[in-house]
Amino acid sequence: MAHRSMQGKMVDMEKLMRQNELVPAVGNAGLNARGDKLGPGGKVVQRREDMVAEYYESNPKVARKKVAAQPDPVPAPTEAIPDMSEFEPPEEVAAVVTKPKKGE
């Protein structure tokens, strides 16, 4: 999917990611952009897929299932919302809400 930069140029983010997935990441993580573990000279020591498989083998209690999206917790309103433009608060509330001006 292409995006438009602030200067109006089209940038294909997927193409950019594919071009740079083997480039070492910035920092001290020792990974490339794909998540592969890198050794001396930037050589791939362990692929990301192998690391994930090893993790799941050593942690059998971890759920591998994809979790379905949760339904919206707020139910849709069943009644029409009343028009509040004609609402006037009771006199007791109006007296509390309105502050007297200085000098009054």
Residue ranges per domain, the chain?
1-59
Distance separating alpha carbons of residues 90 and 97, to the nearest angstrom: 11
45-55 residue pLDDT tens:
999 999 999 99
Across all residues in the chain, what is the average pLDDT? Answer: 79
5 pLDDT above the threshold of 70: yes
14-62 residue pLDDT tens:
888 888 888 888 888 888 888 899 998 888 999 999 999 999 889 888 7
Percentage of residues in the chain with pLDDT exceeding 70? 61
Give this prediction's pTM: 0.44
* 64 closest CA partner among 75, 48, 53: 53
CA geometry: angle 92, 93, 97, nearest 5 deg: 125
